[in-house]
Structure 1
């Protein structure tokens, strides 16, 4: 039996497609019978990595984010490839964006960061004993600088609002609550 809050999709089409996501247009029927339209972004699942060096530093990236017109400081992350398992995606994204490789990777949590606007699911991982042993392999549209931060300082930056990236805030706070 369906939930009485569930919307019925009458028709679906891709309104716009670009590298990284599609905009989906749906005609829907609301629970009260009203017919209307709804648009959202469809993205592949993503891996978000909280990488620790053997010394306990956190590996971060600084990346230009054009939508907010500033450099964003946060955790490495990226979309999973088709038929790729989550841990493989986490290890690949960590190496591609930072040049670091992890000795051990463990699942932290899974979240839907903005499920009113997009259907993406983020799978969070903690990467342990990360060393800069790989070649970075950035996508054509990635402008990234790699940095490290002390864990306590990073946690303070998230708590104070200095770090505004939602993926990073969620990963750092979730890890802080689990330790």
Structure 2
């Protein structure tokens, strides 16, 4: 019976692959239209499945780590409040940032972002999930990691264009804020929701 299930699964995967191929766009050329600190805008020249030739623009950025940091007591988390110019308000959420070229693993990047944005260090860090949050308009890849045993260890070390205040909150209050829509930050909402599913 297991062989039949495996064979059916393989067939379904093959059918899905064939269907995906029918949907695929062919890319003929690609170039950066605009570059600034933090991201670029890329233009691809493509042919659609129906033969239409057109161009497609999307945001290109480095991979990002998002950290859900629990204090040593396990009941509280470290959060940040950060000014977000794009929406014109202070955003409450989790520490996050781009993976640096020299960082050879996500744990290292997560520990660095946590320390820079909050001044906290973690005893352990483990991967929770990887997502593509806005793959219709950007090639962003977000890696969410859970840090445990966090303790204050240093001053913040912020980038020149970061306005961030670190704070702690009860984890259950954070979950309630996500559930009630008080937290609007997508990375935080996803991290907490995914953590609650485990």
TM-score, with normalisation over the residues of structure 2?
0.88
Deviations 1:121-149 (A, max 9, x none): 00110000100002311000000001111
C-alpha displacement of 1:14 = 0.5
Please list, as runs of the form range in 1=range in 2, the aligned pairs for 1:19-168 lying within 5 A after superposition. 19-55=37-73, 56-84=75-103, 85-168=105-188
RMSD of aligned residue pairs (Cα, Å): 1.0
Q: Which residue among 30, 33, 37 is the counterpart of 1:15?
A: 33
Q: Highest Rg: 1 or 2?
A: 2
Three-state SS of the structure 2 residue aligned to 1:156 is: helix
Unpaired runs of 5+ residues, structure 2, are 1-17
**How many residues of Structure 1 are paired with residues of Structure 2 in the alignment?**
178
C-alpha displacement of 1:83 = 3.7
Structure 1 counterpart of 2:7: none
1:173 maps to 2:193: yes
Regions of 4+ moved over 2 Å: none
C-alpha displacement of 1:11 = 1.3
TM-score, with normalisation over the residues of structure 1?
0.97
